[in-house]
Amino acid sequence: DARVTQTPRHKVTEMGQEVTMRCQPILGHNTVFWYRQTMMQGLELLAYFRNRAPLDDSGMPKDRFSAEMPDATLATLKIQPSEPRDSAVYFCASVRVTDTQYFGPGTRLTVL
């Protein structure tokens, strides 16, 4: 049963610290999305990659967020420095070409 995996599942950190979230897409899926979900804003697209190349990161605060895909089995989202307003659930999703998006379980981030 192929699934998107994300680590860590929960992260509590202090303001100013660096946070790195990891995602392993489903094998064979060539497009990876990063979303952020909050009660107020709902599900927002931060960035996405196709065949490891970044296609759109316009939803991401550029000064503190960065997203990379060092290889086909790993996508990372980094926040440096983190702020309390970054507290949210971060989801990764993967899709094969233009098929259904499959979501990972999410990383629940709390910045104190």
Q: How far is CA 95 from the centre of its chain?
A: 14
> Which CB, 25 or 106, lies closer to other proteins?
106
Comparing CB distances to other proteins, the nearer of 14 and 56 is: 56
> What are the distances in angstroms from CA 62 to CA 9, 13, 30, 49?
24, 20, 24, 16
Q: Please identify which residue in 15, 27, 55, 112 interacts with other proteins, judged by CB under 8 A.
A: 55
Q: Segment near other proteins (CB under 8 A), from 13-21, 42-50, 60-68, 71-79? A: 42-50
Which one of 17-25, 40-48, 62-70, 71-79 is the stretch in contact with other proteins (CB under 8 A)? 40-48
Nearest to 4 by CA among 89, 107, 109, 86: 107
Rounded-to-integer distance, Cα 1 and Cα 92, Å: 17
By CB under 8 A, residue 25 contacts other proteins: no
